[in-house]
Amino acid sequence: MTITPFDSTLHGRGFADADIARLFSDSAELRAMLITWGALARAQAAHGQIPSESAEAIHRATLEIQIDPGALTQDTARNGVCVPALAAQFRAEMQAPEHAQWLHHGATSQDIIDTGLALRLRQALGFIARGLDATVAMLADLAEAHAETPMPARTYGQLATPTTFGATVAIWGNGFLAQRSDLPRIRDLVQVVTLNGAGGTLSVMGKAGPVIRADLARGLGLADATDNRHAERSHIRALAGWLGQTLAAADKTASDLLLLTRDGSVTLGTGGSSSTMPQKSNPVAPSQIRALALHGQALTQALSTAPWDHRDGAQWFVEWLALPQLVAATARALSLLSGMTVAPDAARLRAPLDEPSGLIHAEAISFALDLPRPEAQAKVKAWVGEIRTEGGSLIEKSGLPSDRFTPEAQWGEAPALARRFARAARI
């Protein structure tokens, strides 16, 4: 296998998202940085920091010049960042030293790299938002269609009380609704311009610095981050946390589906084939989602540490290692989930509720008996013990009418929960 399956020709299609992969390519990174330089030159010229003729030349060149990432490899490894090599290569390609000298004026590498990242994250979060919407819509349809498809709830892995498949789907869906409602906050945090200069004070640009930053933000369609993003990376930690929680919602759904596919209570369309067992239809998609979510936990943890001093190269490098994979994992998990064909088998789901012993109705029977609560619980518990050793029916032992203990009579607000989620999903 390759160092990361996300970039693997063999395994990449299972774990990578094609749109995200294009956004986090070398060429996309350099293009975003060039766009940032062009917009910065114009903003600086508007406030007399650099000549207007030079700003227009730089801006035009950033749209026309193509830089080969391979030409920057050696210097980037030595410098830790690609900006010095990129600036040198760009100035050479411009063939206009009188204008090229004003490129990157008063900025620092992190300003350009982080602002370029913000441009790409804006697009990435757009893809993820569409994946969230598609996932929520799929789950809403499923919840509504099966609001009254009975099944047993399980607690601690054991049969508990009746519920419905639709209510179960609503549990999954509500996790995604929470993430969708929180997405605007995350966008506001990360879709921002970073322009702080070498020490975080933007000193080279003088009093015009904050105004230039605001103009740069407008020119790029980003927000103006007035704080020092070099030293304070809470926006990246917040993004990582949100992505991790979105993966956790996907993991909850995928894990429950893996359990439900074990006995055919749910099927997932065409599954994966086994190399040796012809009868198998393996639930590959939820297994991939679960793997992406578990990987995402480690990535989120890697991004949770606060940086040192006014700039921390090591923590910044960790972002480069972890954040693209975390974004890709989230996007892919959502596309896998929204693309599933989830088909519940109503008869198999219901079967444990109609099991002759009636043990799943033990709680309901204990409340229905005309006895003080402790006595009722003790009696039902004794009956349960007898049935487990000798057989029989708990409902018959109770002497209560059997029609009080159908799934429909005991599923409580399960159908309402399913429909309430479906309505909320479509708002």
Strand partners, 192: 223
CA separation for the pair 97, 297 (Å, rounded): 48
At which residue do the structure tokens 């605001």 appear? 214
Residue 353 contacts residue 162 (beta carbons within 8 Å): yes
3-class SS at 149? coil
**Catalytic residue check, 311:** yes
Residues in Cβ contact with 412 at an 8 Å cutoff, skipping those fewer than 6 apart:
162, 163
Helix (H) or strand (E) holding 267: strand 266-267
Residue tagged active-site, from 187, 290, 311, 419: 311
Residue 139 contacts residue 424 (beta carbons within 8 Å): no
Residue tagged active-site, from 273, 274, 304, 402: 274
CA separation for the pair 268, 274 (Å, rounded): 16
CA separation for the pair 134, 137 (Å, rounded): 5
**Catalytic residue check, 274:** yes
301: how many CB neighbours lie within 10 A of its CB?
Answer: 12
Going from the C-alpha of 365 to that of each of 75, 151, 157, the distances in angstroms are: 75, 18, 22
Torsion of CA 62, 65, 70, 73, to 10 degrees: -40
DSSP-derived secondary structure letter, 100: H
End-to-end CA distance of the chain: 44
* Helix%, strand%, coil% for the chain, nearest 5: 65, 5, 25
CA separation for the pair 419, 146 (Å, rounded): 9
CA separation for the pair 18, 15 (Å, rounded): 10
3-class SS at 240? helix
Residue 343 contacts residue 266 (beta carbons within 8 Å): yes
The residues carrying an active-site annotation are 274, 311
